[in-house]
Structure formats: C-alpha cells, structure tokens
C-alpha cells in the first residue's frame, strides 16, 4: 500500500484563490486538473482518500467562484496506478466514486460533466 497523500496538489488550498486570480490576469479562464488513480485509491482497492476528494471539491468550488472553468483529466494508465494494482488498469470504480463526491461542482471531465 502507498502511504501517500495528494492533498495540496497541485497547490495548497489557501493559495487557490490567488492562483486562479493570477491565471485570469494572464487572460486565461480555464485550468486543467489531472487526477491520478493512485491519488484517489492509494491505500487499497475500494479504500478512497476522502480527504483528497474533499480538497478537490474545495478547489473546484474556488475556481468557479473566481470564474475559472476546470477541465478534469483522469489518469488511469498503469504508470499512474496505485502500487497495490500491480500494473493493471481498472480505475472505473475509483473515478465513479470521485465523480459522486464532486457532484454539484462545475467542471468538465472525460467521464462527463461533474456538476
């Protein structure tokens, strides 16, 4: 099992508002957020990192409040798999769980609109 946390990645929550404001100052209004399978389910199969999902939810809500659109890029290839997965892919349940936790947040993903 991986004893890791992705909370605070890509940036700490307390910096999110400033990050999105700086993005808008450069004339951009969208942000791509990569979510790796191992970030959601690193402790074991079916054990989801609820703290990380709560962090993502707050990031998405902050982006929306600042007028920044978020495009979620789920990564489920074997290189981004948790150690317990032993090189297999199959993150469908993890991403479905994440989608439920991020419900009502405005974001676009290849798994469909989150909000």
Residue 61 within a domain = yes
Domain range for 51 is 30-109
Residue 67 within a domain = yes
Which residue pairs, CB below 8 angstroms and at least 24 apart, start in 91-99?
91/37, 91/40, 91/41, 93/46, 94/37, 94/40, 94/41, 94/48, 95/35, 95/37, 95/40, 97/40, 97/48, 97/53, 98/35, 98/40, 98/48, 98/53, 98/56, 98/74
According to the model, what pLDDT value does residue 53 have?
94
Residue 14 within a domain = no
Domain count, the chain: 1
Residue 77 within a domain = yes
Residue 38 within a domain = yes
Residue 1 within a domain = no
Tens place of pLDDT per residue across the chain (115 aa): 556 889 999 999 999 999 999 999 999 999 899 888 888 888 888 889 999 999 999 999 999 999 999 988 888 766 667 777 665 656 677 878 788 777 777 766 655 555 5
Residue 13 within a domain = no
């Amino acid at each position: 099992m991986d004893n890791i946390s992705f909370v605070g990645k890509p940036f700490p929550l307390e910096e999110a508002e400033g990050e999105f404001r700086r993005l808008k100052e450069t004339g951009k209004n969208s942000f791509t957020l990569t979510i790796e399978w191992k970030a959601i389910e690193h402790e074991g199969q079916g054990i989801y990192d609820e703290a990380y999902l709560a962090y993502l939810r707050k990031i998405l809500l902050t982006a929306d409040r600042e007028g920044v659109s978020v495009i979620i890029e789920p990564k489920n290839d074997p290189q981004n798999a948790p150690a317990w997965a032993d090189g297999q892919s199959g993150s469908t349940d993890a991403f479905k769980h994440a989608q439920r936790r991020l419900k009502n947040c405005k974001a676009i993903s290849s798994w469909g609109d989150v909000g």
